[in-house]
Structure 1
Amino acid sequence: MKKFLIIANWKLNGNLKFINKNINLIKKNINNSLSFCNLSIAPPYIYINYINNFLKNTSISLTAQDVDIHIKGSFTGETSIKMLKDVGVKYIIIGHSERRLFHNENNNLISKKFILIKNNGLIPILCLGETKEQKAQNQTEQVCIQQINNIIKNSNINIFNKTIIAYEPVWAIGSGKSADIDKIQKIILFIKKYISSLNNKVAKNIYFLYGGSVNYSNIETFFKTNIINGFLIGKASLEIQNFISLVKKSDKLISLLNRS
């Protein structure tokens, strides 16, 4: 059985005081206490190595919020895959709607990042999702498949083996309103069936996460279906005590599902 994966995406938030206090709280309350969940933290770049020193010899892993397509050279302000690997990163988020919107990242660039991550032995978390306008025009499935096909075109379907796809409807991120569970299940099943039609074995080895206003109060809804393998959590991961409760509650809910 796949362990449920919870990624805390801190985005552009936090400082040394926040980290010193809250990483210790997370370690104290979560490290080695989960039976059915894995936890990973995605801090701002400047704190990755600092947090790595806290997380050594724990069950908690590190996620990077992005990566550059270059390995080294005159690329001011960028961070390479080799550097992230050097400081203990396991997962890398790519294609997040905020990167697409604020940094003009397109499918071709995201495809290069995906392939680079895989070729260097780390695990990409590919964010897919529709805007409010695309949703209104019933383009959700088309948008998601275009993003997947661009990667396949530049490599092949096997590149998706043992990777992560996070369905994040853009209109739900930070809105406080998550997508309807039936809608989430429909889209993730559609993506999974599409990949299965190309390679069933690869499809079985993909983790499917959901992201978009997930919080302690609404997580029970997501366990009504077994199609979701984890959460990509933004805002709610900054409220550390509540986030710890969310992670523990998730572990408990999965335990109850396994007994039924």
Structure 2
Amino acid sequence: MRKPLIAGNWKMNGSLALLETMKQALTSANIASGVDVAIIPPFTLLMSAKGVLAESSLSLGAQTLHPESSGAYTGEISADMLTECGVSHVLVGHSERRTLFGEDDQAVLARIRAALDAGLTPILCIGETLEEREADRVETVVLGQVKTVIDDLSAEQRSRLVMAYEPVWAIGTGRTATPEQAQQVHAMIRAWLSDKDPALGEGMRLLYGGSMKADNAAELLSQPDIDGGLIGGASLKPDDFIAICHAAG
């Protein structure tokens, strides 16, 4: 049985005050013990979050990392720096990193390897644009992104991954894939993983990351191959985020 994971990606938003408010709200919300919850704030809040979340069951994540362990990379942050901040999870290949910052599949793979080498759990983000969906290229694009990473890792490394399917056309646009559309892609990914290794397909947690909200979370999370959510805007609203966490339980 795969344990659901709800991860809140704050992107370039948030504050210390929101961090305190969110922690208090989540710890008093009686989230089911069968649900993992992670907060993924900006880099500036990571060290504060380490202290704020220390007495809670909440995990701390980061939004990206640099593939090198150190060096002359102004403005970047390494995997070891993240672990020093108490980070356990890190997003890799988020659609905004791919589209706005030019991270291609090989750059994503390098970051995945750096995260794994440091003992972090990478959340590999995959998904297609509207143009790719309309051109009937969902399978080619999504499985191509999966294959680049999976084919380069050992079985042990693969088992430490989490994946998040995020249809790019449904992020920040107000559009959401129907539960059936989301399930179809998740099932496709799981089938490919199972062909590679039945245990990998059975055990891989696949999150949905396309504008999951309080009012659609239950239906999305009821799909057999959706094991949680990578939440954007709703993760900045304690009541909404808690409602999604409850829907996962």
In the superposition, the TM-score normalised over structure 1's length comes to: 0.90
Paired position in structure 1 for 2:109: 111
Paired position in structure 2 for 1:101: 99
1:199 partner letter? D
Of 142, 147, 170 in structure 2, the residue corresponding to residue 172 of structure 1 is 170
Q: Is the 8 A contact 1:178 1:212 kept in 2?
A: yes
Structure 1 residues 12-33: Cα deviation after superposition (integer angstroms, max 9, x where no partner): 0012233233333233335xx4
Alignment of 1:161-240 (within 5 A): 161-240=159-238
Q: Is the 8 A contact 2:228 2:248 kept in 1?
A: no
Q: Is the 8 A contact 2:221 2:228 kept in 1?
A: no
Instruction: Confirm or deny that 1:44 pairs with 2:35.
Output: no
Deviation at 1:35, TM superposition (A): 2.8
2:183 partner letter? Q
Q: Distance in 2 between matches of 1:152 and 1:211?
A: 20
Deviation at 1:137, TM superposition (A): 0.5
Paired position in structure 2 for 1:58: 56
**Greater relative contact order (Cα 8 A, min sep 6): structure 1 or 2?**
2
Paired position in structure 2 for 1:71: 69
1:141 partner letter? E
Alignment of 1:131-142 (within 5 A): 131-142=129-140
Paired position in structure 2 for 1:241: 239
Of all paired residues, the percent bearing the same amino acid is: 32
Q: Structure 2, unaligned stretches of length 5 or more?
A: none
Q: Distance in 2 between matches of 1:188 and 1:7?
A: 17
Paired position in structure 1 for 2:29: 29
C-alpha distance 116-101 of structure 1, shift in aligned 2 (>3 A):
same
Deviation at 1:57, TM superposition (A): 2.6
Q: Is the 8 A contact 2:65 2:111 kept in 1?
A: yes
Structure 1 residues 119-147: Cα deviation after superposition (integer angstroms, max 9, x where no partner): 22211101110000000001011001111
Structure 1 residues 162-207: Cα deviation after superposition (integer angstroms, max 9, x where no partner): 3111110000011222112122111111111112111112222211
Q: Is the 8 A contact 2:65 2:79 kept in 1?
A: yes
Paired position in structure 1 for 2:141: 143
Q: Is the 8 A contact 2:179 2:219 kept in 1?
A: yes
Q: Distance in 2 between matches of 1:236 and 1:174?
A: 11
Q: Is the 8 A contact 1:158 1:202 kept in 2?
A: no
Describe the SS at the equivalent of 1:24. Answer: helix
Deviation at 1:160, TM superposition (A): 1.8
Q: Structure 1, unaligned stretches of length 5 or more?
A: 252-260
Paired position in structure 2 for 1:18: 18
Alpha-carbon RMSD across the aligned residues, in angstroms, is 1.6
Structure 1 residues 203-231: Cα deviation after superposition (integer angstroms, max 9, x where no partner): 22211000111111111211432211110
Structure 1 residues 86-126: Cα deviation after superposition (integer angstroms, max 9, x where no partner): 22111110111100111111100001111221222211101
Q: Distance in 1 between matches of 2:25 and 2:182?
A: 32
